[in-house]
Amino acid sequence: MKLYYDPITVNCRKVIAGLDFIGAGYDEERLSYFAGDHKLPAYTAINPNAELPALVDGSLKLWESNAILIYASEKAGNMRAYPADPEIRGDISRWLLWESSKWFGGCYVYLVENVVKPILDDVPDQAVLDNHAPTFHAQAAILNDALSGRDWLSADHATIADIAVAAPMHLHAAQKLPLESYPNITAWMSRVEALPCWQKSDPIPHIPPEFLAKLA
Ligand SMILES: N[C@@H](CCC(=O)N[C@@H](CS)C(=O)NCC(=O)O)C(=O)O
C-alpha cells in the first residue's frame, strides 16, 4: 500500500495515526498541501477530488480517509481497531459518517479562521466564527452526551471511531475550539492524545517554524 499525504492536514493526520493504530504497514509519498501538490494531474489521477489523503493498493485507488481506515483494518484483520461485532461496527460506521458529514465541518471553520488564516497573514473573521458557533455547539453537545459514562466512543477500548472523530479537533488549542462546556469531550480527547499513534503523528514538527511563529 502507498499513502499519499501531507502530515500537517487533518485527514492525513487521521490516517497516519489510524494506520499506526491498526498496525498496517505502508509506503509513503509526501505531498505539500500548501504548495498545492494535491491539485496536480499526477495526484488527481488518483483522487479526482484533489484532496488529501489517498491510498493506492494494487489497482485500488482509495480516497476518503474513513474508507481508508476501514479498508486497512479489514486488510490487517485488526479486530480490536475495528471489532467484528455487528453492533460495534454499526456504531463505528455511525461515528465515521457523522465525522465526515458533520463534525469535520463543525471543527474546520475554527481551523480555517484561527490557524490557516493567521498562517497566511490573514485575519480571523469573528462574524464567521459567531455565525458558526451554534452549529458547533449542537454537534459538540451530541458528542459530549455520547461520551457520558464511557471512555471510548464505540467499545470499551479505542477503535478507529475514536481516531476519526478526534482528527477534526487535533489542533484544538490553536483552533480555539470552545470546549469549556464539554468535559466528556476534553477528558476523552486527553485519552486519545495519550495514544502512542496520536503522539507519533503530531503535525507540529512538520509545520515550518515561520508558520508556527504566526500562531504564537
Ligand atoms: N472527506 C475527505 C476530505 C478530505 C479533505 O478535505 N482533505 C483536505 C485536507 S484535510 C484537502 O486536501 N483539501 C483540499 C484543499 O483544501 O484544497 C476525507 O475524509 O478524506
Interval 145-179: pLDDT, tens: 999 999 999 999 999 999 999 999 999 999 999 99
Please give the single-letter amino acid code of residue 89: R
CA distance to 72, 107, 114, 122, 147, per residue, from 125 (Å): 39, 15, 9, 9, 31
| pLDDT of amino acid 124 | 96
| pLDDT of amino acid 77 | 96
- Those residues with Cβ within 8 angstroms of residue 151's Cβ, 6 or more apart along the chain or in another chain: 188, 191
Tell me the pLDDT tens digit for each residue of 97-154: 999 999 999 999 999 999 999 998 999 999 999 999 999 999 999 999 999 999 999 9
Under 8 Å between Cβ of 43 and 2: no
Dist CA 4 CA 27 (whole Å): 9
Q: Over 80: is that where the pLDDT of 202 sits?
A: yes
Structure confidence at residue 209 as a pLDDT band (50, 70, 90): confident
| pLDDT of amino acid 214 | 84
Question: Where are the domains positioned within the chain?
Answer: 2-76, 86-200
Distance 47 CA to ligand 1 centre (A): 10
Q: Does residue 65 have its Cβ closer than 6 Å to ligand 1?
A: yes
Q: Which atom of ligand 1 is nearest to the CA of 66?
A: 19
* Of 192, 199, 188, residue with least CA distance to 179: 188
Q: Over 90: is that where the pLDDT of 62 sits?
A: yes
Q: Over 70: is that where the pLDDT of 10 sits?
A: yes
Q: Which CATH number fits domain 2-76: 3.20.20.450, 3.40.30.10, 3.30.310.50, 3.90.550.10?
A: 3.40.30.10
Distance 165 CA to ligand 1 centre (A): 15
Tell me the pLDDT tens digit for each residue of 22-50: 999 999 999 999 899 999 999 999 999 99
What percentage of the chain has pLDDT greater than the value 90?
A: 94
- Looking at ligand 1, which residue's alpha carbon is closest to its atom 17? 51
Interval 64-71 mean pLDDT:
98
**Predicted structure pTM score:** 0.97
Q: Does residue 38 have its Cβ closer than 6 Å to ligand 1?
A: yes
Q: Does residue 10 have its Cβ closer than 6 Å to ligand 1?
A: yes
Q: Does residue 140 have its Cβ closer than 6 Å to ligand 1?
A: no
Query: Per the structure block, which three cell numbers stand in for 39?
Result: 491539485
Structure confidence at residue 216 as a pLDDT band (50, 70, 90): low
Q: What is the DSSP letter of 31?
A: -
Distance 51 CA to ligand 1 centre (A): 4
Q: Which CATH number fits domain 86-200: 1.20.1050.10, 2.60.40.10, 3.40.140.10, 3.90.79.10?
A: 1.20.1050.10
Distance 52 CA to ligand 1 centre (A): 5
Residue in the structure block whose three cell numbers are 457523522: 98
Q: Does residue 100 have its Cβ closer than 6 Å to ligand 1?
A: yes
Under 8 Å between Cβ of 197 and 191: no
Interval 190-203 mean pLDDT:
97
